[in-house]
Each structure stands twice: as structure tokens, then as C-alpha cells.
Amino acid sequence: MTDVAPLPMAEARIALSHLDRNIRAIRQWTGKGVRIMGIVKANAYGHGADRIAGALEAAGTSDFGVANIQEAVALKTGGGLKKNASILAFSSPLVQQIDAYLQYGIEMTICSFDMLRAAEKRAAACGTKLAVQVKVDTGMGRLGLLPAETMELLRAIDRSAHLEMKGIYTHFAEGSKPDGYTSLQLDRFRELVSAYESESGRTICKHAASSGAILCRRDSWFDMVRPGILLYGYLPDPAMRSPVEVTPVMQVEARVIFIKTVTAGTPVSYNRTWTAPGTRRIATVAAGYADGYPRTLSNRGTVVIKGKAFSQVGTVTMDQIMVDLGDDCDVKTGDNAILFGWEGPSANDIAYSTGSISYEVLCSVSGRVKRIFI
């Protein structure tokens, strides 16, 4: 018998044409003089890092940001990138990981003197230079030294024969809010880089703006911007007024696998959190919290089947959800139910109902949901 690939129960349809439209809209907004680093960490926010990075590269992107060295190596060797792109790993590395940066040509984030010394020692032992970028903490409180200490770090890197500084960057804690704390962080960053460039007599790549600041703080763009959620079709804050129009790139669909008619008072799913108020057709859809459909969406969600919206009812289970079709007879087993995407509820809708954010909704789509690139 010929091997037959089973029909997937749930699919994440990834519209590369939407991604291309989004990156071009961002580039039109920022202008050609500003580099764009495509953020493809966390498997490109759940979309599939290799294919997303390849599509961004085809659209002219040559800088990429990932979370750590594991993601960087996977991207470097995954086959999606065809050219010699620059890949920056944002995480502060472990000493045991330095050789991987050297072997694969990944740009390392340095934000401590201990790591500087360890990196310099390994690069010297290998007889090569290690490309690094310096992260400064201007108020995020996560990674990086404060500006005064970072200035000393920059000077130490300049004195090293085995470290090559590729850039300096920071991250905003409230990047979608243009004033207040963002202004304070921006002032701190600007003062540091101005002092360093004046003292050293050299210009380095400076970047601070992720999606929020791209939209609302033009003066934070510097030499490069780092769109993440914006690439994938969502605003960092749904309440923002955006000068850039973007379209969701991912649509998650799952198949209707069973339909039955129940009478009034019939309970549905664990703990009987919903009972039929009358005679109803109930559809079981092959996706649950193991696929990334949040359990907290129980009795709150909406799915779209054949262009019609239906309520999700009962507790979301690991592998399935139930949907109240009312007396609708058009829905059949095998039909696709849109859980979220450009034709159904958005990731923002899911996030609003569950007290989350679109980032988490996208990243939570699990590996057993087959990615289909269209």
C-alpha cells in the first residue's frame, strides 16, 4: 500500500503574501535609510521561522533577531536563508555557548564584563574575531548594564583585538506609549551613544524601536528598527492609532469531526459548565488547548464555519472544542472551523477574551498544528 499522509485535523495557514505586504508597508513608513531587522524569535511568533525569514529576505531584509543561540543556529542551518544574513541573538549567553557563536557567525549580545572577558578569551584561542552587540538597560530592567557602566563596557570592547562591535541597542518598557517613560529611556540611550561616538570618533549601528516605537516615535528609529508583532499583522496595543496598515499572517483552522443533536438541559463537556437551553446541533471541532486554543476561552469563544459565526460552548478540552450550531443544518463533518485569522475572530479578539495579548495567542499555536504556507 502506498504511504498516505493523513489529513491534518488542525492547520495554521500562513499567508506569505500578507507578510510581504506588511514588511513593504513598514518599509514605506520608515523609509529606505533605516534598516529593518526582522524579528523571527519563538519560531517567528509561531509562524515558522525558516519560511518567514526566507520570505523577509526575498523582500529585502538582511538583518534578523532571535531569542538565543539555539534559535540562531537553527535559523542559520535551516535552509530558509539563502544569503549571508546578520543574525543577532538577544539573550545574554552562557560561557559554554560562546563557541557556537564563533562557529556559526552569530552576533552575540554582551551586557556584562564577565561575558566580555570570556568571549575575548575564546575568540583569541580560536584566532578569530567575534561579532558582538552591546545591550544597555535604559529602564526595561531585564538585560544590560546602566548607561554609565555600559560606557565602560564599550571602551573595553574597543580595546579588544578579538571582539568586533556591530551595534548598540536598548529596549523600551512602554514602547507603544510615546511620552513619559519612553521619552526618558530614549534620552538615556541618545546621551550614551552620542557620548560614545564623540569619544571614539566612530559611528556604530544604533537601534531601539520595536513595533510600538516604530509607529509612534520616529526619533527612536536611529539606524535600524525591529518590527515583531507588526510583521505578523497586529499592533502591539490594539488601541493604538496606526499609520501603517497590516494584515494578519496566520489563520488557524480545525475540522468538524462530529455533529449531534441534543435536547434542552443536555450538559456539554467537563464540569457541565454549559447546558443546552433547547434543542441544538452541537459540532465537535478537532482542536483544543494542546493545539493552542486557550482553556480560558471556555464558553467565550466564537468560531466561523462557512462564513457564519458560532459560539464555542462547554469547557475547552485538550484536543477538542464544542460549538453550538443552533438549528443550522449547513455545517457538515469535514468542514473547517476558523478559530482565528483574517476571516474569523482575530488574535486580538482571542486575547481580549482571555486577558492575554496577541503575541501569546500566536506563539501558543502548538507544533502539532500543521503549518500550511500559502
What is the C-alpha separation between 251 and 177, in angstroms, rounded? 29
**260 annotated active-site:** no
What is the C-alpha separation between 220 and 183, in angstroms, rounded? 9
What is the C-alpha separation between 358 and 374, in angstroms, rounded? 22
**270 annotated active-site:** yes
What is the C-alpha separation between 342 and 247, in angstroms, rounded? 7
Beta strand pairing call for 63-66 and 280-285? unpaired
Burial label for 72, CB within 10 Å (0-12, 13-18, 19+), is buried
Q: Which residues contact 38 (CB under 8 A, 6 or more apart)?
A: 23, 52, 53, 56, 61, 63, 64, 65, 227, 231
Total residue length of the chain: 374
How many alpha carbons fall within 13 Å on the CB side of residue 27?
Answer: 15
What is the C-alpha separation between 167 and 39, in angstroms, rounded? 16
The three three-digit cell numbers of residue 280, written as one number = 441544538
- The one catalytic residue in 82, 121, 260, 270 is 270
Active site residues: 41, 270
